[in-house]
């Protein structure tokens, strides 16, 4: 019997990396950089000041376990924020407004393949770039597949609309609370800052994604045998799935959600809102949506609790990922690692160093598919490296969001991707052949965006 190599659960990988971090504190020399407070009041490392620490304490194995509750206490604000967003989004989903909106748009433009692909990719990308949505798209897979097949496309094109949109949105991350806000918090940046540049580069990335899906769809329309899933029974369309109709209540729910997003942007940009205010806004949105939908308070409480519980795993991953950095900090080897990673980049032009950071983040996403978890794992290293090589911390965050977002559409450790492919019956190797050229195009565009960001002093 043949056995396939299975990637361990992300939490298992995190714990393994915690063990590796503990071992590194035993084998690497302890060291530190000198730090100073810059004009923004933030502590940054000083290039050329790295020195070894002779009398550093040795961590005991028990430290592996005590680090977890300490780390979760350190990031409690982010953890509670994630849970509140999960609860609020669950209440919105429960009304059927999101499914009804997506379905009405798809049905309206369903007679034009180009507009179906363009509008579909845009809607998925926009929702992911602002609300951080991903798993919520899975119920739409069936109707997308049915529409695309009816228009002489295939399941790969249908899933491409969804996955390419969601990953482009995560890559641009205009206001993604699950990735961008967390990474900026770790980098000691105002959450949501730098929105203008991200809003601009969103459109070129979106155009690249739309073109890739449309070019493939046209090829299948001309020759059905050119389909990557031609002859694969599991990848043929399921029975038509009906989505809820767009009612007056659901329109009001969507209007309330759009208003909340506008208030969010206003609060962040104009009044420096942070996790407390943003969390409060999502609670208020959940209550408003429940009132609009005439949901009972018991149902609101149950739905909100269920939505929060669905993100409990993400919250735990955040804590475990923070534990890795905490162990390295306690063992006083974090700066040693930063020094080793930064050394090959120091002396190079800042633009090349920035592209090198993009490469590091892209590789890391293979092992840590959780965007928030990856932020806590890599940003404590990437932000100081940026300080050392003359790159602003906003550019360091940009490298993180590109590597996390774009690689999500190809790494087999992404549970959302594998779940969607499983529902559509698309073998991973066929999906890889479809999306790998797109990954190369997006990463090339991301490298250009990184260079431009360095040159304009993106902050």
Model confidence over 110-155: pLDDT tens digits?
Answer: 568 888 899 889 999 998 998 787 766 766 777 688 778 777 888 9
- Where does 51-202 show beta strands of DSSP type E? 51-52
- SS3 of the chain: helix, strand, coil, percent, to 5: 70, 0, 25
* Paired strand residues for 43: 37
Residue 396 CB contacts under 8 Å (≥ 6 apart), including other chains: 187, 357, 379, 382, 383, 385, 386
Q: Find, among 73, 67, 58, 51, the residue nearest to 23 by Cα.
A: 58
**278-300: average pLDDT:** 91
Q: Mean pLDDT, the chain, as a whole number? A: 83
What's the rounded Cα separation, in Å, for the pair 185 and 198? 17
Q: Report the pLDDT value the prediction gives residue 219, as an integer from 0 to 100.
A: 94
Q: Evaluate the CA torsion angle 425, 137, 242, 111 in order and state its sign.
A: negative
Question: What predicted TM-score, i.e. pTM, was given to this entire model?
Answer: 0.71
Higher pLDDT: 384 or 24? It is 24
**163-173: average pLDDT:** 93
**251-265: average pLDDT:** 86
pLDDT band at 203 (very low <50, low <70, confident <90, very high): very high
């Amino acid at each position: 019997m043949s056995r396939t190599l299975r990637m361990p659960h992300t939490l298992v990988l995190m714990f393994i990396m915690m063990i590796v971090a503990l071992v590194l504190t035993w084998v690497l020399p302890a060291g530190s950089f000198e730090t100073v407070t810059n004009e923004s009041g933030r502590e940054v490392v000083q290039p050329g000041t790295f020195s070894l620490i002779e009398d550093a304490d040795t961590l005991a194995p028990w430290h592996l376990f005590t680090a977890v509750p300490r780390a979760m206490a350190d990031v409690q604000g982010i953890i509670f924020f994630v849970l509140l967003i999960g609860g609020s989004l669950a209440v919105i989903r429960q009304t059927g407004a999101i499914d009804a909106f997506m379905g009405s748009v798809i049905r309206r433009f369903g007679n034009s393949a180009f507009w179906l692909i363009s509008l579909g990719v845009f809607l998925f990308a926009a929702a992911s770039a602002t609300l951080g949505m991903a798993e919520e798209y899975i119920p739409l897979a069936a109707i997308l597949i049915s529409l695309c097949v009816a228009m002489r496309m295939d399941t790969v094109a249908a899933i491409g609309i969804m996955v390419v949109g969601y990953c482009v949105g995560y890559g641009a991350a205009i206001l993604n609370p699950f990735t961008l806000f967390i990474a900026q918090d770790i980098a000691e940046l105002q959450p949501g800052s730098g929105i203008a540049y991200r809003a601009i580069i969103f459109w070129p990335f979106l155009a690249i994604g739309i073109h890739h899906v449309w070019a493939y769809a046209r090829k299948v329309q001309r020759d059905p045998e050119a389909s990557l899933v031609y002859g694969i029974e599991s990848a043929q369309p399921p029975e038509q799935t009906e989505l809820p109709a767009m009612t007056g209540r659901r329109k009001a729910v969507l209007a309330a959600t759009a208003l909340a997003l506008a208030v969010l942007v206003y609060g962040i940009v104009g009044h420096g809102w942070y996790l407390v205010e943003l969390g409060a806004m999502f609670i208020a949105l959940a209550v408003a949506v429940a009132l609009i939908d005439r949901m009972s308070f018991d149902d609101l409480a149950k739905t909100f609790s269920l939505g929060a519980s669905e993100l409990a795993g993400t919250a735990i991953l955040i804590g475990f990922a923070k534990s890795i950095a905490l162990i390295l900090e306690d063992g006083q080897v974090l700066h040693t690692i930063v020094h080793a990673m930064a050394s090959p980049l120091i002396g190079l032009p800042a633009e090349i160093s920035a592209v090198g950071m993009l490469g590091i983040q892209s590789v890391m996403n293979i092992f840590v598919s959780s965007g928030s978890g990856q932020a806590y794992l890599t940003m404590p290293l990437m932000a100081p490296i940026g300080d050392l090589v003359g790159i602003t911390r906003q550019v360091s965050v940009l490298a993180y969001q590109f590597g996390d977002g774009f690689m999500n559409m190809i790494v087999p450790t992404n549970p959302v991707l594998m779940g969607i492919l499983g529902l559509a019956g698309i073998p991973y190797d066929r999906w890889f052949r479809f999306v790998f050229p797109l990954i190369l195009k997006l990463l090339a565009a991301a490298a250009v965006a990184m260079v431009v960001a360095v040159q304009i002093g993106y902050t």
